[in-house]
């Protein structure tokens, strides 16, 4: 634990457990893996039948495929081969064109 200092007896016991559980720092994904953890509202259409009025931009869908592995086969493998595939795409709605093809 980096920023938490145990104070009561229970906290000391937890700190011991956490210290044992944690491996070396770094190299851990910042996003929960596995589809079951991701709630996606869906991107089909807004009330007018278009995509302009959705609560999140339709381009955001790329990230559902990419990091949440909603459609894992259709996008590059962000864990092994293309970790920086979306690095030039800070805001999907405006930067989605920066996402390029990946050649293994």
Q: Rounded to whole angstroms, how far apart are CA atoms 15 and 104?
A: 43
* Interface stretch with other proteins, choices 2-10, 54-62, 70-78, 90-98 (CB under 8 A): 2-10
Q: Rounded to whole angstroms, how far apart are CA atoms 96 and 80?
A: 22
Kindly name the residue from 61, 77, 95, 100 that is annotated as catalytic: 61
For residue 70 the two structure tokens come to 């909603």
Among 65, 64, 58, 55, CA closest to 44? 58
Looking at residues 4 to 43 of the shown chain, list those that interact with other proteins (rule: CB under 8 A): 4-11, 13-14, 18, 21-22
Task: Choose between 5 and 97: whose C-beta lies nearer to other proteins.
Answer: 5
Residue 87's CB: how many other CB atoms inside 10 A?
10
Interface with other proteins (CB under 8 A), residue total: 16
Task: Choose between 18 and 91: whose C-beta lies nearer to other proteins.
Answer: 18
| 61 labelled catalytic | yes
For residue 21 the two structure tokens come to 């559980």
- Catalytic residue ranges: 61
Positions touching other proteins (CB under 8 A) are 1-11, 13-14, 18, 21-22
């Amino acid at each position: 634990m980096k920023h938490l200092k145990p104070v009561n007896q229970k906290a000391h016991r937890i700190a011991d457990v956490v210290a044992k559980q944690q491996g070396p720092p770094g190299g851990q994904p910042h996003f929960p893996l596995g589809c079951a953890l991701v709630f996606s509202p869906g991107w089909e259409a807004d009330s007018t039948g278009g995509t302009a009025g959705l609560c999140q931009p339709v381009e955001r869908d790329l990230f559902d495929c990419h990091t949440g592995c909603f459609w894992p086969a259709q996008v590059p493998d962000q864990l092994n081969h293309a970790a920086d595939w979306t690095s030039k795409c800070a805001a999907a709605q405006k930067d989605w064109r920066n996402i390029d093809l990946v050649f293994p």
